[in-house]
Amino acid sequence: MSDKTSPSEDKKTAASYKPTPMMEQFLEIKGANPDSLLFYRMGDFYELFFDDAVQASKALGITLTKRGKHLGEDIPMCGVPVHAADGYLDRLIALGYKVSVCEQTEDPAEAKKRGAKSVVRRDVVRLVTPGTLTEESLLDSGSSNYLASVSRVKNGDEGHLYGLSWLELSTGDFGVLQLDHLRLGAELARLDPREIIVSDHMLMDEDFQPLKDMLRTSISPVPRAFFDGSTAADRLMGYFGLSTLDGYGHFERVELMAASAVLAYVEKTQLGARPPLNPPQRELSSRTMSIDAATRANLELVRTLSGDKKGSLLSVIDKTVTGGGSRLLAARLAAPLAQLDGIIARQNSIAWFLQQTGLREDLREGLKAAPDMPRALSRLSLDRGGPRDLGAIRSGFSAIFALLSHIGSAAQSEPLPQEIGDAATALQAMPEMLGQSLSEALNDELPLQKRDGGFVRTGYDAGLDELRSLRDESRRVIASLQADYANETGIKALKVKHNNVLGYFLEVTANNADKMMSAPLNERFIHRQTLANAVRFTTTELADLEARIASAGAKVIAIELSIFDRLRDQVLAAVDLIQKAARALATLDVSTALACLADEQNYCRPLMDDSLAFEVSAGRHPVVELALSRDGGDPFVANDCDLSPQAGHDNGRIWLMTGPNMAGKSTYLRQNALIAILAQMGSFVPADQAHIGLVDRLFSRVGAADDLARGRSTFMVEMVETAAILNQAGERSLVILDEIGRGTSTFDGLSIAWATIESLHEVNRSRALFATHYHELTVLHEKLPRLNNATVKVKEWQGDVVFLHEIVPGAADRSYGIQVAKLAGLPDVVINRARDVLESLEEGDRQSPALTIDDLPLFSATAQKEVNKETDFLRDALNGINPDDMSPREAQQALYRLKGLV
């Protein structure tokens, strides 16, 4: 008879299979959380099973093992220690995974009362996602960790309107905005959220795919019910305990949908817990300068093109000393203001601290002691906080009182700027009694976990002190007992030890065990356990003492936990005041840091108004300048820029920049864009003087990059970004363009660059810097009144080129490409051959493109019609020719006729 079973027998076996109680519990919990990895708590480990284990082992590089069988097959398993779980969570979240944390929800002793084989109750206590992190070890103290949601409604024949809502779970920041599809990508790039939630049907929409490809972040689809507009307002009012939202402004329906969805997602991931969020603040798209994703990347505002923070603008200007200050500075850099009042208020604060050098240094020193109170508050509200979070709030009080003392002294001599005065008012509102309670209750040194105890100061609670004394005295009694037992038995190596299984016990070596188990000692010492090299005993006296110690220890922990809960409740009752104080600390940090930056780097205060001016004297690139000074190289060459309207013209100028590669054109273009951003974020700028009229939108197309994942060549990416600029820029915009058209053939590229300049001049009417190697375009300044030529000075010396990095009026007559190639190390034979070829080309028709451009009509409706007529005429003539029926002579004559038409 064969040993193999038939298919019908396999089905019977599977049908009759019953999983173990523990695996049955796991499968039930996993079934309720199918979209995440399940961290299933078993003792000191979080275990993962089945496909979760396979995925986690690959992602984390940990060993995949097996545990028992399920439906006849081995169960894959891996695990991570509970004490090191944060590190593994960080890696999984960074890879885009979500994790459900399943904890034991009852004491194992209670489970045993239901039967020997009863399983300890477990349940998911938290869903960990990229946008809902609160643990200090998983967060970057200097960066915000935004969770965002995107909603959409139809807008008649004009397409769709979008609602964007975002919150920072670890600080409580909560914002909402209505916008169109053109601005949606720019705002998401500004926020740089770690996770975005959208309705599942919207995620599948083809219109959403381009945005999805651009974001490259974690996108979480949720049911459409999350975005239900009919219940959105009620959900918001219910969360914040309000009867109306009118006190926070008027919200559009699509904004309410987005805000409601993000709240619903928080409640889902936090399993009903409600972190302390600020009521939603409605932002207006006109309040900030719009900067799209491509421009942010090109200008390297918060990270370089390679993804590093070092080398970015933020890394250079960030002199803050607190996590909250660093996050606020990054937020200001990401969203420069487009309103004068706010800009000037920030400038006033910096100017005041520039004059108050002593106060500035005192405040910066005091701010170093200020902890990250908002994130501590968030953990406490979600019951994830520990004694050190309470300690952070206590330290915050101490830092605030010290800062107020310094500010109060300064305010006696002169009035405070509005921003500093508002910050001082928020700090003064902190409840002093709460700070005193925390100082009186908490030890100077605090444990990480509240379950460890030992965080309540001696003398704070008399009952607690009495129990601690009993516990500690009992330990000394045990030490005394060990000495007595050793003398009584004559075994000097006898030890009193403890573990979680046996409790307290006596341990002797195997050689001494016979003596302990022989009369008369065996009547007093009770055998408990025999090991390979040791034997363990107990006594009635030791058992009674153990009971008293365990009772005292448990009571000590219980009292400390109750004190912790009481202090936490007091802190959470003052959450609004503490959050306002934390924002005030961040404001002081940013203002003093920017004043320090301006002082050290010789930045000036720009004149800001609502004109179309853009005039910078001796401007510098902040990142390049600092890099040169650190490397001990040549000093940075400062340059002027004037894009302000000329007399008789209503719009700003366009500068057409020519000059060789490596001469500094790209640096010059970027530095003026960065100066505009710094000015409108309220900072001083790297220049001797600056006068800047508000810029509503900034566009930058600098450098070459491809997008092979989306099937886009370098030239295609260039054209897409240029199209976005020409379709959106207006007269208040600042446009930075570099080498448009260089990715295709000479005449194609020249034509595109030419048409782009004319569009900027005639249609967009923007202030612009346009760098090019097409020297033929410089003749356009004769026909475009707002176009000015500028070039980079160079000097030739013995066949080599020396870059002077100085921008001057005029046009370059050549690109010096061969000289640059020589500097790059091309072989001499190649350089010499290139010179020969260049001379040959220059003797031919090198100047014909310029003459052609000079003769062509300007880009206008009338000229375009003429071009279309000529094109149609030529097309008709070509359609009348049949090459297959022509002799060579007839073909030649036809070509002459066509030449005459042209």
**What pLDDT is stored for residue 866 in this prediction?**
44
User: Is residue 662 marked as binding?
Assistant: yes
Indicate if the pLDDT at residue 711 is higher than 70: no
Sheet strands side by side (includes 281-282): 218-222, 195-199, 146-154, 160-168, 174-179, 281-282
DSSP code string of 210-231: HHHHHH-SEEEEE-GGGG-HHH
pLDDT of residue 902: 54
pLDDT (tens digit per residue) in 741-785: 776 767 788 888 888 999 999 999 999 999 988 888 889 988 999
**499 labeled binding residue:** no
Task: Find residue 124's DSSP bridge partners.
Answer: 102
Q: What is the average per-residue pLDDT within 490-501?
A: 87
Q: Which residues contact 430 (CB under 8 A, 6 or more apart)?
A: 397, 400, 574, 577, 578, 581
Other Cβ atoms less than 10 A from the Cβ of 630: the count is 8
**So what's the pLDDT on residue 670?**
94
Residue 217: predicted pLDDT: 80
Task: Establish if 311 belongs to a structural domain.
Answer: no
Burial of 313 (0-12, 13-18, 19+ CB in 10 A): buried
**Looking at the predicted structure, is the pLDDT value of residue 305 above 80?**
yes
Distance CA 495, CA 419 (A): 67
- When pLDDT is averaged across residues 642-658 and rounded to a whole number, the result is 91
**Per-residue pLDDT tens over the stretch 4-42:** 445 444 444 444 557 788 888 999 999 989 889 999 999
Q: Does 652 show up as a binding residue in the annotation?
A: no
Q: How many other C-beta atoms are found inside a 10 Å radius of the C-beta of residue 684?
A: 23
Region 52-78 average pLDDT:
90
Tens digits of residue pLDDT in 421-480: 999 999 999 999 999 999 999 999 999 888 888 999 999 999 898 888 877 777 788 888
Confidence of residue 803 (pLDDT cuts 50, 70, 90): confident
Contact indicator for 134, 378 with CB cutoff of 8 Å:
yes
DSSP codes, 310-346? TTSHHHHH----SHHHHHHHHHHHHS-B--HHHHHHH
pLDDT of residue 701: 86
Half-sphere exposure of 767 (CA within 13 A, CB side): 27
**pLDDT, tens digit, for every residue of 70-92?**
887 889 999 999 988 988 998 99
User: Annotated binding residue at 666?
Assistant: yes
Which of 362, 393, 359 is CA-nearest to residue 376? 393
Range of the domain at 586: 318-459+574-601
Please indicate whether residue 282 or residue 209 has the higher confidence score (pLDDT).
Answer: 282
Task: Report which of 220, 233, 296 is spatially closest to residue 259, judged by C-alpha positions.
Answer: 233
| Whether 652 contacts 766, CB under 8 Å | yes
Of the three residues 815, 833, 850, the one that is the final residue of a domain is 815
Least confident of 201-205, 280-284, 310-314: 201-205
Residue type, 634: D
Distance CA 656, CA 513 (A): 97
Peptide bond into 520 cis (omega under 30): yes
Residues 565-579, mean pLDDT to the nearest whole number: 94
**Euclidean distance between CA atoms 563 and 836, whole angstroms:** 88
- Rg (C-alpha) for the chain, rounded Å, is 37
CATH number of the domain that residue 549 is part of: 1.10.1420.10
Q: Look at strands 37-42 and 45-49 and give their pairing.
A: antiparallel
For residue 793, what are its two tokens?
Answer: 């000075």
Is 172 exposed, middle or buried, given 0-12, 13-18 or 19+ CB atoms closer than 10 A? buried
Q: What are phi and psi of 167, to 5 degrees?
A: -145, 155
What six digits make up the tokens of 493? 């190596």
Residue 190 has pLDDT above 60, yes or no: yes
Nearest to 261 by CA among 202, 212, 205, 317: 202
By the 10 Å C-beta count (0-12 exposed, 13-18 middle, 19+ buried), 369 is classed as: middle
Cβ neighbour number for residue 544 with a 10 Å cutoff: 10
Look at residue 62 and tell me if it is in a domain. Answer: yes
| CB atoms near residue 130 (< 10 Å) | 23
Q: For residues 542 and 398, state if they share a domain.
A: no
**Residue 696: phi, psi to the nearest 5?**
-85, -35
| CA 75/CA 292 separation, integer angstroms | 49
Q: Are residues 481 and 384 in the same domain?
A: no
pLDDT, position 362: 94
Is the four-CA dihedral 43, 46, 52, 58 of positive or negative sign? negative
Beta strand residue intervals within 457-606, DSSP E: 495-499, 503-509, 526-530, 534-538
For residue 607, give both structure tokens.
Answer: 């004149």
Q: From 696, 766, 695, select the one nearest 726 (Cα to Cα).
A: 766
Contact 36, 99 (CB under 8 A): yes
Condensed to tens digits (0 to 9), the pLDDT of residues 150-166 reads 999 888 776 788 999 99
- pLDDT value, residue 394: 95
Assigned token pair, 564: 């912790």
The answer to whether the annotation marks 664 as part of a ligand binding site is: yes
Query: What is the residue whose two structure tokens read 């700070």?
Result: 435
- Residue spans of alpha helices (H) in 412-451: 418-428, 432-441
Say whether 500 counts as a known binding-site residue. Answer: no
Residue 498 lies in a domain: yes
Min mean pLDDT across 326-335, 405-414, 632-641, 845-854 is at 845-854
Q: What is the pLDDT of residue 330?
A: 94
Non-local (6+) Cβ contacts of 453 within 8 A are 447, 556, 557, 560
Q: Are 156 and 109 part of one and the same domain? A: no
Token readout for 128 is: 């960990």
User: Is 618 in a helix, a strand, or coil?
Assistant: strand
In which element (H, E) is residue 411 found?
A: helix 387-411
Percent of the chain residues past pLDDT 70, beyond the cut: 89
Most confident of 140-149, 590-599, 639-648: 590-599
User: What is the domain count for the chain?
Assistant: 6
- Helix, strand and coil percent figures for the chain, each rounded to 5: 50, 20, 30
Structure confidence at residue 186 as a pLDDT band (50, 70, 90):
confident
- Amino acid, single-letter form, for residue 764: N
Determine the Cα–Cα distance for residues 724 and 294; give it in Å rounded to an integer: 10
Average pLDDT, the chain: 86
Measured in degrees and rounded to the nearest 5, phi and psi for residue 498 equal -145, 140
* Residues 432 and 473 placed together within one structural domain of the fold: no
**Tell me, what's the pLDDT at 704?**
57
DSSP state of 280: P
pLDDT in tens, 364-417: 999 999 999 999 999 999 888 899 999 999 999 999 999 999 998 888 888 999
Domain boundary among 265, 287, 309: 287
Q: How far does the chain reach from its first CA to its final CA, in angstroms? A: 95
Residue 448 is classified by DSSP as: S
Please give the biggest Cα pair distance in the chain.
135
* pLDDT at res. 845: 52
User: Do 693 and 806 belong to one domain?
Assistant: yes
What is the rounded CA–CA span in Å between residue 288 and residue 177?
A: 12
- The pLDDT of residue 821: 72
Say if residue 94 is in the same domain as residue 150.
no
Whether the CB-CB separation of 691 and 644 falls below 8 Å is answered with: yes
Identify the weakest region by mean pLDDT among 28-37, 79-88, 497-506, 565-574. Answer: 497-506
Q: Does a structural domain hold residue 641?
A: yes
What digits encode the pLDDT tens for the residues 718-734? 888 888 899 889 999 99
Is pLDDT larger for residue 110 or for residue 81? Answer: 81
The residue-averaged pLDDT of 798-804 equals 69
- Examine residue 835 and state whether it is found in any structural domain, yes or no: no
Q: Report d(CA 379, CA 847) in Å as an integer.
A: 70
Residues 267 and 349 in one domain: no
Token readout for 358 is 């002593």
Residue 133 belongs to a domain: no
Q: What is the pLDDT of residues 320-362, one digit of tens each?
A: 999 999 999 999 999 999 999 999 999 999 999 999 999 999 9
Distance, CA of 428 to CA of 595 (rounded, Å): 24
Contact 595, 353 (CB under 8 A): yes
Which pLDDT score, from 0 to 100, does residue 872 have? Answer: 63
Q: Is 857 a known ligand-binding residue?
A: no
Report, as an integer, the average pLDDT of 615-622. 96
Say if 300 falls within a structural domain: no
Angle at 736 between CA 336 and CA 308, to 5 degrees: 65
CA atoms within a 13 Å half-sphere pointing along the CA-CB vector of 253: 10
> Is 659 labeled as ligand-binding?
yes
CA distance 446 to 121: 31
Q: How many CB atoms lie within 10 A of CB 209?
A: 12
Query: Residue 223 maps to which CATH number?
Result: 3.30.420.110
CA distances from 282 to 174, 196, 259, 584, 595 (A): 9, 19, 10, 20, 30
* Strand 195-199 relative to strand 218-222, pairing: parallel
Going by pLDDT thresholds of 50, 70 and 90, the confidence category of residue 871 is: low
766 and 896 together in one domain: no
- Judge if 161 and 247 occupy the same domain: yes
Cα gap 855→780, rounded to integer Å: 11
Tokens 């019910």 belong to residue: 225
What's the pLDDT band for 815 if we cut at 50, 70, 90?
A: low
| Single residue among 128, 156, 180 that ends a domain in this structure | 128
DSSP 761: I
Task: Please identify which residue in the block is written with the tokens 């979080």.
Answer: 46
Q: Are residues 398 and 433 in the same domain?
A: yes
- pLDDT of amino acid 12: 46
| Helix/strand/coil (H/E/C) assignment for every residue in 638-666 | CEEEECCCCCCCCCCCEEEEECCCCCCHH
> Does residue 277 share a domain with residue 415?
no
Rounded Cα distance, 344 and 683, in Å = 10
Statement to judge: residues 179 and 120 lie in one domain: no
Residue 809 within any structural domain of the chain:
yes
Q: Does the structure show a pLDDT above 80 at 813?
A: no
